Amino acid sequence: MTRILTERKVQIPEDCQVELIDKKFTFTGPKGKLVHDCTPYLMSFSIEENEIVIRLWHAKRKVIALATTVASLLRNSVIAVTKGFKYVMKAVNKHFSINFEIKENGKVLLVKNFMGEKNVREFRMRGQATVRLLDDKKGCVSIEGPSLPDVSQTAGDITNTCRAKKLDPRVFLDGIYVIEKGTMVE
């Protein structure tokens, strides 16, 4: 069954400017600038007062679900330019201590002595994400940036690469794991 009109709204805070040109949103805020392209979606977008309004006419259930997903993506973009995203990762080891080194102003993370191996694993941050060592927590790094996909995919790449392969995961817990997710400004 189709609904005649479906609307989804996204609030825009005062410190965020949103510009809409041909279904392309440009978000500008204190943490940076982000562009989100909504041209593949067959729905209408408008900016009214302090809200982004998504409208669908005569839509079925799956298309309405897509409108909710698009609203969530736009909400994440607003959060990204106002607060930013942050993942905290911790090195867990049983015998060989894992060491971190950061190069190129936080764009490259080097992992040394993982499982006692001599080669150094190098991870480049995706997009605008940066990495820094945490002073208050030993063996922890923080990945920060204005784009949630960049930050989360970088953290996922590090977790998947630094895993004890072909060994029992109940015994060999060595690796680098995400211990905290949130925004840069709490």
* pLDDT tens-digit series, residues 161-176: 988 888 887 888 889 9
Q: Are residues 75 and 96 in the same domain?
A: no
Q: Are residues 116 and 137 in the same domain?
A: yes
* pLDDT tens-digit series, residues 22-79: 999 999 999 888 899 999 999 999 999 899 999 999 989 999 999 999 999 999 999 9
Q: Are residues 41 and 23 in the same domain?
A: yes
How large is the average pLDDT for residues 109-128?
A: 92
Question: Could you say which DSSP state residue 115 is in?
Answer: G
Tell which wins on pLDDT, 95 or 157. 157
Question: What percent of the chain lies above the pLDDT cut of 90?
Answer: 71
Q: Are residues 109 and 72 in the same domain?
A: no
With cut-offs at 50, 70 and 90, classify the pLDDT of residue 178. Answer: very high
Q: Are residues 75 and 113 in the same domain?
A: no
CATH number of the domain that 30 lies in?
Answer: 3.90.930.12
With cut-offs at 50, 70 and 90, classify the pLDDT of residue 120. Answer: very high
pLDDT recorded at residue 64: 92
Phi-psi group of 76: left, alpha or beta (phi > 0 → left; psi -120 to 50 → alpha; rest → beta) = alpha
With cut-offs at 50, 70 and 90, classify the pLDDT of residue 95. Answer: confident
Q: Are residues 18 and 96 in the same domain?
A: no
Distance CA 143, CA 153 (A): 10
**Residue at a domain's end among 67, 83, 99:** 83
Distance CA 74, CA 23 (A): 12
Q: Cα angle vertex 91, ends 163, 152, to 5°? A: 70
Distance CA 160, CA 142 (A): 17
pLDDT over 80 (residue 185): no
Which residue range is the domain that position 72 belongs to? 3-83
pLDDT recorded at residue 186: 65
Number of domains observed in the structure of the chain: 2
Q: What is the value of pTM for the model shown? A: 0.84
Q: Are residues 124 and 150 in the same domain?
A: yes
Q: Are residues 174 and 97 in the same domain?
A: yes
Q: Are residues 102 and 52 in the same domain?
A: no
Q: Are residues 91 and 166 in the same domain?
A: yes
Q: Are residues 179 and 90 in the same domain?
A: yes
Q: Are residues 90 and 107 in the same domain?
A: yes
With cut-offs at 50, 70 and 90, classify the pLDDT of residue 17. Answer: very high
pLDDT recorded at residue 123: 95
Helix %, strand %, coil % of the chain (to 5): 20, 45, 35
Distance CA 82, CA 16 (A): 6
**Residue at a domain's end among 48, 83, 118:** 83
**Residue at a domain's end among 61, 83, 105:** 83
